[in-house]
Amino acid sequence: MSGLTDYYSSGINTNGGEFGAYRTPTRRHRGQDISHSSKPGTVGVPALHAGRVVGKLAPSTKHGFGYGIIIRSVLDGMEFDFTYAHGPWASQQAIGEWIPQGKIILHEGNSGATQGSCVHIEQQRVGGGYLDPLPEIRRVAAGRLTEAAPAPAPAPAPAPAAPAVDHDVVCSWNWGGIQKMLKHYDYGYEGGIDHVASKGGPTLKAFQNFLNRKGYAGRAGVGTLKLDGDPGDKTIRAMQQWLNESGRNAGKVDGIPGDQTKGAFHVAEADNYRAFPNVW
C-alpha cells in the first residue's frame, strides 16, 4: 500500500458525490467527490496519474471549481485531462510541470461550489467528453501505475561551436621567398632571409605593408591592415586575395589558413625565391 492507493481506497462519496448525480433537475455532477476530513487543507490529494500540468483554476463566478489544477495524462495511449478542484488554496504546481503519479498536487478544501471539504475529480478525454472517473480511481486504488511516459524529445544539440581558427600557423610556414620579395621591393623588411615569420615580427609587418600597398587588403574587403605583424583573420584574407589574384588558387577568401591556402602560399614563396636570386 502507498499513500496513493490508501488515498483512493477510501473517502469516495457515493451519496450524491458520484458522477451523474443530479445537482439540479437539468444539471448532473460531472465528476467524483472524495473527502477524508471535514477540515479544509488537512489532507493532500495525490495525482491519480503522472502527467503534465495543463491548467490551473482560481475561484470565479464563472465556475464552481474554486482552486484547481488540470493534469494531462496518457492512459492506454489516449490523453485525458484530470481536473482536481475545491482546493483551500492555489496548487503550488506550475503550468507545464511534470507531475509524478502520487505527488500531492492540491489539498481537499471547500473553495468554489461545494458542500464540505473535499476534492472534486473530473476525467475528460482530450478533445472528447467526460467520463465517470470512478473506474479509474478504483484501478489506481488497486495499484494501477501510469504507463511509462513517452521519452521526452531530446533537446536539440547545441550548434557545434565553430572551431577556433589558428591564424598563427602561418608563422610555421616557409617565408624565405616572401622575405626576398619584400626586401627587393622595399616594403620595409630589414631582416635577413632566414625563412622565419614570427608573430609581431618584421616579416609579417612588411608583408602586411605589401598587402596594403598593392591593394589586396582592400579588394579582400578588409580595409587597411594594421602593421602589427599579427596574422589575424584580415591579414589571412588579404593573403588569400593576393594568392588568388596571382593565380595560385588559395581557395575561398575566408581568413582560414588551411591546406589549400598553405599550398598556394608555398608555390608563391618558391616562385619569389627564384625570382630574386640576388637578394640576401
Q: Per CB under 5 A, does 183 bind Zn ion?
A: no
What is the nearest approach in angstroms of Zn ion to the Cβ of residue 15? 12
| Residue with smaller CB distance to Zn ion, 114 or 146 | 114
Judged by CB under 5 A, the stretch of 4-12, 56-64, 120-128, 237-245 that binds Zn ion is 120-128
Q: How far is the CB of 29 from Zn ion (least distance, A)?
A: 6
Q: Output the smallest distance, CB 91 to Zn ion, in A.
A: 17
Q: What are phi and psi of 213, to 5 degrees?
A: -65, -30
In whole angstroms, the minimum distance from the beta carbon of 17 to Zn ion comes to 6
Q: What are phi and psi of 104, to 5 degrees?
A: -70, 120
Of 33, 81, 108, 136, the one binding Zn ion (CB under 5 A) is 33
211 neighbors 231 (Cβ within 8 angstroms): no
Sole binder of Zn ion in the list 36, 49, 120, 205 (CB under 5 A): 120
Helix/strand/coil for 202: helix
How many other CB atoms are there within 10 angstroms of residue 84's CB atom? 27
**Per CB under 5 A, which region of 116-124, 154-162, 185-193, 225-233 contacts Zn ion?**
116-124
Residue type, 44: G
User: Which residues is 130 bridged to in the sheet?
Assistant: 124
Contact 184, 201 (CB under 8 A): no
Cell of residue 225, nine digits: 591592415
Q: Is 30 in the site for Zn ion (CB under 5 A)?
A: no
Min separation Cβ 140 and Zn ion, Å: 18
Comparing CB distances to Zn ion, the nearer of 27 and 274 is 27
Q: Which of 84, 91, 88, 99 is nearest to 32 (CA)?
A: 84
Q: Is 194 exposed, middle or buried (0-12, 13-18, 19+ CB in 10 A)?
A: exposed
Q: How far is the CB of 36 from Zn ion (least distance, A)?
A: 15
- Judged by CB under 5 A, the stretch of 25-33, 135-143, 150-158, 187-195 that binds Zn ion is 25-33
Cell numbers at residue 260, please? 589549400
Nearer to Zn ion, 31 or 40 (CB): 31
Cβ-proximal residue to Zn ion, closest one:
120
Which residues have CB under 8 Å from 259's CB, separation 6+?
Answer: none
108 binds Zn ion (CB under 5 A): no
User: Residue numbers of the site for Zn ion (CB under 5 A)?
Assistant: 31, 33, 120
